[in-house]
Amino acid sequence: MDTLDTLRTRKKAATRQSLHEAALRLAMEHGLDGVTVEDIADAVGVSRRTFSNYFANKEDAILHADRERTGLLVSLVEGRPSGEKPWQALRAACQDLYRAHPVPDREWVAQLRLLRRHPSLLARQAGDQFALERDLIAVLLDRGHGV
């Protein structure tokens, strides 16, 4: 059963990543307003309904990698030794994250370009950053030692 769950999890992750990549590519080629959820689903060979199982809208699909990185940062902070001071834990987690991803990849650069051209997407990302700050504060407060 574990093998089946692992295979299912990997397949879902691959589909999610494919939808993200297609959304980003199509938005770069046609502009955010020139792309529909149906276009993204068609590019990956899935239905509109399948798309909706992974993302609420095209903006969420475009920002997926960003959300993955921020989720990873929160997890890295949570995984730091319990005796470490909050500031040290955050700094070490950031270093670990940037060691794993030392150079901005093409996907990240493309997303930045889209953010500059589409204020609505930038506003959504700002909301994501606010959520990251909230999550990090909660994790750091749980560590104690005074924040």
CATH number of 1-57: 1.10.10.60
Q: What is the pLDDT of residues 116-131, one digit of tens each?
A: 999 999 999 999 999 9
Higher model confidence: residue 106 or residue 1?
A: 106
Q: Residue 1 has what pLDDT? A: 54
- What per-residue confidence (pLDDT) applies to 142? 87
The three-state (H, E, C) secondary structure of the chain, written as one string: CHHHHHHHHHHHHHHHHHHHHHHHHHHHHHCHHHCCHHHHHHHHCCCHHHHHHHCCCHHHHHCHHHHHHHHHHHHHHHCCCCCCCHHHHHHHHHHHHHHHCCCCCHHHHHHHHHHHHCHHHHHHHHHHHHHHHHHHHHHHHHHCCCC
pLDDT at residue 104, rounded to an integer: 72
Q: Per the confidence metrics, is the pTM higher than 0.75?
A: yes
Any idea where the domains of the chain sit in the sequence?
1-57, 63-147
Q: Is the pLDDT of residue 146 over 60?
A: no
